[in-house]
Structure 1
Amino acid sequence: MIRVLFVCLGNICRSPMAEAVMRDLVEKEHLSHRIEVDSAATSSWHIGEPPHRGTQDKLKEYDISTKGMQGRQLQKADFNHFDYIIGMDESNIRNIRTMVGNPDSPKIFRFLDLTDHQKDVPDPYYTGNFQETYDLVLEGCHALLEKIKIENQM
């Protein structure tokens, strides 16, 4: 089983959006039995909360479910459990590396470094632009899925 963890600051906007989109892509490619997807926060602000209403509304437009999703905080044990730990921005990457105690691991990387954008995913909690975030997340998830399929010969 290949395990993927998306991480952002609060685990209510960007990382749950990426989790839901990636799960949807994995299901459509009939790889759910091979790829597990989750998300987490570097902060403890929204533990147990569902995704932000804006995230839910945007995903609903594309018929992507957030059912059962709730915020959780990144744990040190996540480093050993997950094969790919993806931060949505550079600040998340710094926090992830500190929290899991492994600053140089190649399994930790910034989401959009897999695309031509090579920038941070803007936080719609602050920008209000859930469409921009969705578009970038969709592109990043496609790139990540291709990376996983190549690296794991799927």
Structure 2
Amino acid sequence: MKKIMFVCLGNICRSPMAEYLCRAEAEKRGLAMEITSAGTSGWHDGEYMHCGTADVLDGLGIDSRDFVSKRVKSSDWEEFDYLIVMDDNNLCDMETRFSKNKKLFKITDLLPENSRYDHVPDPWYTGNFKETHDILQQCCEILVTRLQRGEM
């Protein structure tokens, strides 16, 4: 069973959305995976996700009431098969903390080369939770497909 951690800055918008979207996609396909999320900053440790993220998930019928924000721990590097970040800043923070490695990459690296997205914009700043959902849904579908086919 693959173990995946999604990582963003505060662990209240993008990474929890990716966590629950990916979990729902894996469950839909009957693929056993352990999926979680964390933030690089720890600013929101112990908090629930942003209401915009919760609203998106609620609208999709995805129960996220068990979510609690947390910070990336040193042990996560060994514990998880993949640490998947949302943008270049997250990638830099994680590479500085751990190292460059194929288990660490940006989620948008999964998108086709002609995609207009090279990162997941942070809806904390943009206010556009729909855009975040649309990008993450596509990325999670690709991720689960590649894992299901044994391509990762």
| Residue-by-residue CA offset, 1:118-141 (whole Å, 9 max, x unaligned) | 511000000000000000000000
The structural deviation recorded for 1:152 is: 6.4
Matching residue of 1:21:
21
| C-alpha separation in 2, matches of 1:119 and 1:92 | 13
Structure 1 residue runs of 5 or longer lacking an equivalent are none
The TM-score, its normalising length taken from structure 1, stands at 0.92
Q: 1:94-137, CA deviations, whole angstroms, 9 ceiling, x for partnerless residues?
A: 111122x22x2100000011002251100000000000000000
Unaligned stretches of 5+ residues in structure 2: none
- Say how many residue pairs are matched: 149
CA distance in 2, matches of 1:147, 1:94: 25
Q: Distance in 1 between matches of 2:79 and 2:146?
A: 19
Correspondence 1:45 to 2:28: no
TM-score by length of 2: 0.94
- CA distance in structure 2 between the partners assigned to 1:73 and 1:79 by the alignment: 13
Does structure 1 residue 150 correspond to structure 2 residue 149?
A: yes
User: Aligned ranges for residues 44-123 of structure 1 at < 5 Å?
Assistant: 44-99=42-97, 101-102=98-99, 104-116=100-112, 117=115, 118-123=117-122
C-alpha separation in 2, matches of 1:37 and 1:13? 16
* 1:47-97 Cα distance to aligned partner (Å, 9 max, x none): 011110000001111111212111100011101010011000011011111
Percent identical: 41
- The CA distance in 1 between the partners of 2:49 and 2:72, in whole Å, is 16
